[in-house]
Every structure is written in C-alpha cells, then in structure tokens.
A and B are shown apart, each in its own frame.
Chain A
C-alpha cells in the first residue's frame, strides 16, 4: 500500500514538472499552428543560463527564474518574425517548412551548446536541494514539490491571463479564427509575437528549474521535446487547460510502469501510448485539440 501511494506521489510530481513546458508548447501551437521541434532545446538553454548566472553572480538559482523568463521572452520576440516568414508564404508546404525550420533551430542550439560547453554535466544547487517532506510513510522531495506547485501556479496565471484579461481574449480569438480576428482589428502579427515570446520565456524558465532538479547537459533537450510532445498530444494540440491532466497522466504512467511492470518498458510504454492516442483520438483525450 505504501509503495502504491509513493508511486502515485512520484508520478504526480514527475508530471508536475512537465506541465509548464506543455503549457507553453500547446499555446504556441494553438495560436500559430507551429510545432516547435526546438522546445527541448529552449529547456536546455534555460537550464544553462540558470547555471551560468549562479556561477557568475552567486545567489540561489530560484532567484533567477524571472530573469530567465525575461531574457528568453526577448529572444522569442526577436526570432518570431523569422518563423512567421517561414510559415506564411506560398511555397512547398508551409506547415512542414515550419517544422523543418524549428528542427533546424534545435540542431543549431544543440550543436552550439555542445561546442561551447561540451558534454560535461553540470549541477545547479539551490536551497531546496535535499530538503524532504515527510507525510506519514511517504517521502516527498522538496524540490519536486516546489516544481509541481510552481508549474501549477504559472499555468493558472497563464490561464487567468488568457481567459480573464482583454488581451487574452484577443489571443484566444486569433487561435480560433485568425482571419476573422484580423478583420475585427486584432494585430495578428503582434499576437503571434507575444505568444511566441511567452512560450520561449516560460519554457526556458522551466528549464532552469529542471536544471536545478536534475542536471544540466547539452543533450538533455531531446528528452523534454519527447515529453512535451506526449503531453500536448494527449491534451490535444492547442488546448491549454488539458495540459495539467495530461502531464499528470504522463507522470503516473511512467511511475506505475516503472514500478509494477519494469523499468525497461518505461519509454516504450510512453511511445506506444502516444502513437495510440494519435491514431484513436488525434484531437487529444478531451477531443478539444486543433
């Protein structure tokens, strides 16, 4: 019984970390219909930036999360026009071109990280490292719990922004019907830029958190790209509220498969489920995807 509960908690917390990445990614797809293959690399860059800041300026890694958000939002703002150029325009197949372009970006980022920082693994200590919560027989790592709640918090903030604020309405309108929104006065280009920068900032910030939790490594991106895809496929591409339950399902799946079936089948189970969902309900389990 105790093992069951602990497995459940582990899974919950594992999923919690992925929520933020999924949220940004889903939003980006929902509004701009771009699947960003470089999502894992944004995570990696955020992690490295967090590490660098702690290294050169001291203080705790958690302190820099907002800073990283700002830096990468700015970066996203700058890159967006290029992506827009690729995705619009009459050529071979804009959707595929967009995919390949972000794929190219991911290779560049990974290659850059490898060239500059090599294959060494870096650790980012924070005051939360090693702090554990005890709940009866259950052991709950402090850092993961914080990650979980942080993820929920950011998601709720984002959802509040999207559903309650005026500009959030504009964004959702653009997601639903770009042309009509344009006709009704929304600056569609600017909306896209805002969304992309939000996405870049949030994803990089979660990267810094993940860097503190696990470790920072040039090739860590691939793993998070895969997890982001899984969450967004399950939730439905573009359906942001679906990300929370989808991420939790991801965590629980990994946890239970590892403990009760066997660790070897961990990743295989993930891919199998992802493939299955795409075949059976491509719009996600809530059927609200794009």
Chain B
C-alpha cells in the first residue's frame, strides 16, 4: 500500500491544500442561501439534513459495528415530539427541538439496554421490528393524530431552516469528530466493533459504551426530525416513521464510506442529488430505486470502503484497520 504522505514536505503542502478547500467549503455553506434560488436552497437543506442523518447512522453502524435497521424511528420520534409539543403544549420551536433530541436519546438508552446484547443480524431484525412497532403505535394513538398526521403552523423562512439544519448537522459532525475520532471513546467503539469479547476482556465496559454510542446516535436524528416537522409542516407515520428513512440513511452511509467521518456527507450529497436530478430531468421516481439498489450492491462488492475509500486512493479491498491508522497519522 502506498503512503502518499511519506515526504514531510508533501505532507505539509497537501495539508495546506486540504485546509483551503475545507475553509472554502465552509464559506460556501454559510453563504449558500444567498447565492442560490429557493428551489436549490430547499434541495441544499435536504442534503444537509440527510448528511446529519447518515452520520448518526454511521456512529452506531460504522464505528460501533451494529446494524440498526430501525434508526429512522428516532427521526420520526423527533418529528412527532416537536410537532406535539408545539401544537398540543404550545412550546416554542427551540425548546421542542431540545426535547426531541433528549427524548430520542432516552428512548435509545431504554431500547439499547436490552437490545444491544444482540449482535449482527439479530440486532438488525430487533431494531427493525422496534422501528416498525413505533410506527404502528404512532398510527394507533389519537394523540399523535393517528393516520391523519400532525400539522404544524406554517413559517416559511427558508434560509432560517437551512441554517438550523446546518447547525445541527455541523454539531453532529463535530461531535463525531471529537468524541469518536479523537477521544478514547472512539477507540473503545472501534474495539467493540472489531472484537467485542476481546474488548470486554481488556477492560472496556462494552455495555455502557455501546449504550452511550446508541444514545448519541439517536440524539441528532431526533433534533433533525424536529426541524423537518416544522419545515415541511405536515407529518404522518408513513412520511417520518416509514422504513424508507432508515433505508436511505443506510445507503448514504455505505455509499459514502461507512466508518469514516466524511463518508456519510459524501453519500448524502451523491444520493440526494441523483434523486433530485433524476426527478427534475426525467420526472421519474421509480427507476432511481433500481439505480440505488444496483449502486449499493456494487459498493458492497467492489468498494466496501465507499467513495471515501475510493477518493483516498486506498483502492479496492483494503483492510479497514490500516486505513484508520493511516488517517490518524494524517489527521484528516
């Protein structure tokens, strides 16, 4: 495997280059609403939201090694909590968001405690059935509006929503970077992912670590869900608690690069843009599913490290561990 950064001089100049691009991107993100049309602002807001969602999925799946097929439920719960606190209790938006995040995280802790004992396919199926159960509950209860859904007051200030989404997604990435990539917490997660029993034996409290990771991964979708509810103004069980939310999160994270910091972001951009562009150009919505399905199969087969792996030049079939070590050295 080639190490591009063998020479300290090239390491420094590539660092400068990367920093410049990063800052440029940051600037674009900030001035985005003022330079594009409202349509693209909406699309941009969607992309930002999905980037956050995909990253939250990445925390529990990519870093902790647990496939959570019901992760979308936290998004839906957040949407409903904000919806209900705003319409039934009359609370302000910001408070509703905070409550959404906390409720999601608490629910994750409650679910996680018994469920995280399971592994692999069992965990996937268990979380999937829990997610579906939550959707059924939302449909049955009248307080959530049941099948009629929930309507929120309409506030149409697109840049406002964009910035809030950006803020929360940014926090998601920052938290992931600080807690998972840099701190010891992250190493513990990786240890659990690679060999849980060994981790337990060297003293990692796997149960509590997994639980905290799960709660963390649920907090952000909860808040994003709350923003979504207020942004779209109408939610119902199928639109925010349906399986398709998890499906899309999953595809984005895997396509971009599971287990990497920027993978979900890349995945979100690519998938959402493919979908929107196909929609605008072709007026078509179902062939996109075929494309996504084939893409995900191709990614699993040929580039399991996702687009990030491809772009980093680590090529095909490279072991994940070495990539981690490499990245720690280059500090991306």
Contact = CB atoms under 8 A, between A and B. Distances in A.
Nearest to B122: A282
Contacts, number: 129
Given A97-B304, A265-B140, A282-B118, A111 B292 contact: yes
Interface stretch (B4-12, B154-162, B226-234, B293-301): B293-301
Chain B residues touching A, range: 35 or more
Interface residues of A, number: 44
Given A99-B67, A111-B288, A279-B114, A90 B300 contact: no
Contacts of A90: 319
A222 B242 CA distance: 12
Given A111-B293, A271-B130, A92 B124 contact: no
B130 A275 contact: yes
B286 A115 contact: yes
A110 B289 contact: yes
Contact of B292 (A100, A107, A229, A265): A107
B236 to A, nearest CB: 16
Interface string A93-117: 1011101110111111111101100
B133 interface: yes
Contact of A108 (B117, B243, B254, B294): B294
B136 A271 contact: yes
Given A267-B136, A271-B129, A282-B118, A104 B293 contact: yes
A92 B132 contact: no
A35 B140 CA distance: 30
A91 interface: yes
B259 to A, nearest CB: 7
Contact of B126 (A115, A267, A279): A279
A86 interface: yes
A92 B258 contact: yes
Interface in B38-66: 61, 65
Given A91-B320, A99-B124, A115 B140 contact: no
Contacts of B67: 96, 99-100
Contact of A226 (B65, B124, B132): B132
A229 B115 contact: no
Contacts of B136: 265, 267-268, 271
Nearest to B319: A90
B133 A111 contact: no
Contacts of A184: none
A95 to B, nearest CB: 4
B332 interface: no
B121 interface: yes
Contact of A271 (B65, B133, B293): B133
Contacts of B130: 271, 275
Contacts of A282: 118, 122
A222 B251 CA distance: 18
Interface centre among B126, B251, B258, B293 (most CB of A within 10 A): B293
Nearest to B115: A279
A281 to B, nearest CB: 11
Given A35-B124, A107-B296, A271-B132, A92 B137 contact: no
30 contacts: A86-B300, A90-B319, A92-B258, A96-B65, A96-B67, A97-B300, A100-B250, A103-B296, A104-B251, A105-B293, A107-B289, A107-B292, A108-B289, A111-B288, A111-B289, A111-B292, A112-B290, A114-B286, A229-B128, A229-B129, A268-B133, A271-B129, A271-B133, A272-B133, A275-B126, A278-B115, A278-B122, A278-B126, A279-B115, A279-B117
Interface of B: 61, 65, 67, 114-115, 117-118, 120-122, 124-126, 128-130, 132-133, 136-137, 139-140, 193, 243, 247, 250-251, 254, 258-259, 286-297, 300-301, 304-305, 317, 319-320
